[in-house]
């Protein structure tokens, strides 16, 4: 399937957000900030990267979010790296919870 920079429709974005719910609250906080910051700008490429990350166990995902690890193997794609950089950016004035 060819990934595009086409923006996600509202329903696609809502389904992706639902898919991103995690068992580890710390991951949820990162993901919540990600959607609050970039939700209206998400593309099909972002959705593919984020979906691949959601297949990971919570602790592995947290390691990537906190830069304890970098994506390797099948996870080392442009889409995943771009999503990780977006998640890792702290917005001015945002405070950790």
Task: Give pLDDT tens digits for 4-54.
Answer: 789 999 999 999 999 999 999 999 999 999 999 999 999 999 999 999 999
Question: Where does the pLDDT of residue 97 fall: very low under 50, low under 70, confident under 90, or very high at 90 and above?
Answer: very low
Query: Cα–chain-centroid distance for residue 5?
Result: 16
Q: Residue 3 has what pLDDT?
A: 64
pTM of the model: 0.87
Q: How far is CA 15 from CA 49, 69, 76, 86, in A?
A: 15, 28, 24, 19
10-88, superfamily in CATH? Flavinator of succinate dehydrogenase (1.10.150.250)
Portion of the chain with pLDDT greater than 90, in percent: 87
pLDDT at 57: 97
């Amino acid at each position: 399937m060819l990934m595009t920079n086409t923006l996600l429709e509202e329903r696609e974005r809502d389904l992706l957000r639902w898919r991103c719910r995690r068992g580890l609250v710390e991951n949820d906080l990162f993901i919540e900030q990600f959607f609050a910051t970039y939700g209206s700008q998400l593309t099909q490429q972002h959705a593919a990267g984020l979906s691949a990350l959601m297949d990971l166990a919570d602790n592995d995902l947290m390691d990537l979010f906190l830069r304890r690890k970098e994506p390797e193997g099948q996870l080392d794609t442009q889409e995943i790296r771009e999503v990780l950089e977006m998640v890792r950016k702290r917005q001015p004035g945002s405070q950790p919870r």
